[in-house]
């Protein structure tokens, strides 16, 4: 097993897995302060009595994904090359991202991610066919940050007005969608394209979560919170 932590970038071996993610995305933080409840960009699948597992289905066969030494493994996305990304929780309770490809595992740790048990560590939530990764990490204060990994390094993504953020998916054009928490506090969505951020709103809804984008630029959004607009920031335009 190899590790990617922002200092040893070479030789990233990509993922084999399956995606057990959904269209429900919540940033569960009542207020974007360091003491706030950590943001959960995508909720973990429900577990009955034991640890969670990832799964991949290929030609009718279903294979379980369990990262060695983990208590819970989650798979979020698989690309067209069969590379799977997700995150796992180790025996000490710290969260790590991973890429799995043809049985080869690479652990992904953002260099500023917390290793404190029960706080969000590193999550890899999206991968394109070039192997670019997007996700989120939580720092030691419990604040969540969005990031992209490409060309051997991490870059944080900071949508304007966002106090906490998470990147959910990247398409093969390099366009990234994700969510952020603003000062109202409301859950917002963003599109990042060549360094430009655009806020995404669902008409008549306060809280939105952009959870997917295809190569045509079409974006899937989950939304909640009916409003007459009086309690939401004005819609439109850049974030």
- The one-digit pLDDT tens for each residue of the chain (239 residues) are 555 443 332 222 222 222 223 223 333 333 333 344 444 445 444 434 457 899 999 999 999 999 999 999 999 999 999 999 999 999 999 999 999 999 999 999 999 999 999 889 999 999 999 999 999 999 999 999 999 999 999 999 999 999 999 999 999 999 999 999 999 888 999 999 999 999 998 888 889 999 999 999 999 999 987 655 555 555 544 45
Q: What fold, for 2-226? A: Neuraminidase (2.120.10)
Task: Give the CB-side neighbour count of residue 121, counting CA atoms within 13 A.
Answer: 21
Spell out the alpha helix ranges (H) of the chain: none
**Which class for 11: exposed (0-12), middle (13-18), buried (19 or more C-beta within 10 A)?**
exposed
Bridge-partner residues for 94, per DSSP?
none
Spell out the alpha helix ranges (H) of 129-185: none
Which structure tokens are listed for 55? 């799964």
45-52: Cβ within 8 A, 24+ apart = 45/20, 45/74, 47/72
**Which class for 202: exposed (0-12), middle (13-18), buried (19 or more C-beta within 10 A)?**
middle
Return the domain boundaries, the chain: 2-226
SS3 content of the chain, % helix, strand, coil (to 5): 0, 45, 55
- Assign 64 to helix, strand or coil: strand
- Determine if the peptide bond prior to 216 is cis (ω within 30°): no
């Amino acid at each position: 097993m190899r590790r990617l932590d922002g200092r040893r970038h070479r030789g990233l071996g990509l993922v084999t897995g399956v995606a057990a993610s959904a269209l429900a995305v919540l940033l569960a933080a009542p207020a974007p302060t360091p003491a706030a409840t950590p943001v959960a960009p995508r909720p973990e699948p429900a577990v009955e009595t034991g640890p969670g597992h990832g799964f991949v289905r290929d030609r009718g066969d279903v294979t379980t994904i369990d990262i060695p030494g983990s208590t819970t493994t989650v798979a979020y996305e698989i690309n067209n090359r069969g590379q799977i990304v997700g995150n796992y929780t180790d025996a000490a309770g710290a969260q790590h991202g991973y890429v799995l490809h043809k049985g080869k595992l690479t652990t992904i740790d953002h260099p500023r991610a917390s290793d404190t048990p029960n706080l969000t560590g590193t999550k890899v939530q999206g991968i394109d066919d070039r192997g670019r990764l997007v996700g989120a990490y939580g720092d030691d204060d419990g604040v969540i940050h969005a990031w992209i990994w490409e060309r051997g390094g991490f870059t944080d993504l900071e949508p304007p007005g966002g106090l906490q953020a998470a990147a959910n998916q990247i398409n093969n054009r390099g366009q990234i969608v994700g969510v952020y928490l603003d000062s109202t506090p409301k859950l917002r969505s963003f599109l990042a394209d060549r360094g430009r951020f655009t806020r995404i709103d669902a008409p008549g809804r306060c809280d939105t979560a952009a959870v997917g984008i295809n190569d045509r630029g079409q974006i899937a959004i989950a939304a909640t919170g009916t409003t007459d607009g009086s309690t939401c920031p004005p819609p439109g335009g850049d974030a």
